[in-house]
């Protein structure tokens, strides 16, 4: 079993797509193990996107991701990191296939609706940025 961090980004929340996006993961057979609405501050945004600190788009990305609340979710399942990334599509929605979240709902490179961790190690770190252990609910059966 893997866990990954998903964020429905501020554009997705503003457009009323949080439920649609999260329900896709559930319908696929992944489980929501934790969920909360968070208005990220600059410090959390810079920590979450630390790997991009030197990129030309970093400042704009931090402004965007803090522009409104996100839905932060821990998504759990077999190969969850990879399955979620494939369901999201490419970083640029224009290059994303129909049937993916970005390919179905996005046109903008920055405002691309959704974040998903890109490795198990990064997922662990990213989840810890948003959730305490006690906020993540283990499956009973």
CB of residue 120 to Mg ion, shortest distance in Å = 14
Task: Say if residue 88 is exposed, middle or buried (CB neighbours under 10 Å; 0-12, 13-18, 19+).
Answer: buried
Q: Give the span between the Cα atoms of 135 and 11, in whole angstroms.
A: 25
| 52 among known catalytic residues | no
Rounded to a whole number of angstroms, the minimum distance from the CB of residue 103 to ligand UDP is 13
At residue 126, φ and ψ (nearest 5 deg) are -65, -40
Residue with tokens 């797509």, as numbered in its chain = 17
- Residue 76 or 102: the one with the smaller Cβ distance to ligand UDP is 102
* CA angle (96 as vertex; 107, 119 as ends), nearest 5: 115
Answer yes or no whether residue 91 interacts with ligand UDP by CB under 6 A: yes
From candidates 40, 112, 127, 131, binder to ligand UDP by CB under 6 A: 112
Half-sphere exposure for 38 (CA within 13 Å, toward CB) = 20
Residues within window 25-54 making contact with ligand UDP, judged by CB under 6 A: 52
- Using the contact rule CB under 6 A, the part of the chain among 26-34, 37-45, 104-112, 128-136 near ligand UDP is 104-112
Candidate list 44, 100, 115, 126, residue with the active-site label: 115
Instruction: For the segment 10-29, give every residue that binds ligand UDP (CB under 6 A).
Output: none
Q: How far is the CB of 134 from Mg ion (least distance, A)?
A: 27
- Pairing, β 114-116 against β 70-77: unpaired
Please list the active-site residues: 115
């Amino acid at each position: 079993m893997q866990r990954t961090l998903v964020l429905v980004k501020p554009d997705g929340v503003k457009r009323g797509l949080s439920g649609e996006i999260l329900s896709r993961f559930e319908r696929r057979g992944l489980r929501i193990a934790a969920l909360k609405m968070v208005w990220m501050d600059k410090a959390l945004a810079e920590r979450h996107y630390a790997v991009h600190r030197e990129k030309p788009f970093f400042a704009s990305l931090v402004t965007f991701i803090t522009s409104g609340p996100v839905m932060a979710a821990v998504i759990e399942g077999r190969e969850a990191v990879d399955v979620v990334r494939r369901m999201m599509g490419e970083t640029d929605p224009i290059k994303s296939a129909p049937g993916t979240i970005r390919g179905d709902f996005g046109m903008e490179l920055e405002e691309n609706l959704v974040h998903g961790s890109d490795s198990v190690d990064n997922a662990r770190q990213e989840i810890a940025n948003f959730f305490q252990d006690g906020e993540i609910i283990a499956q009973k059966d």
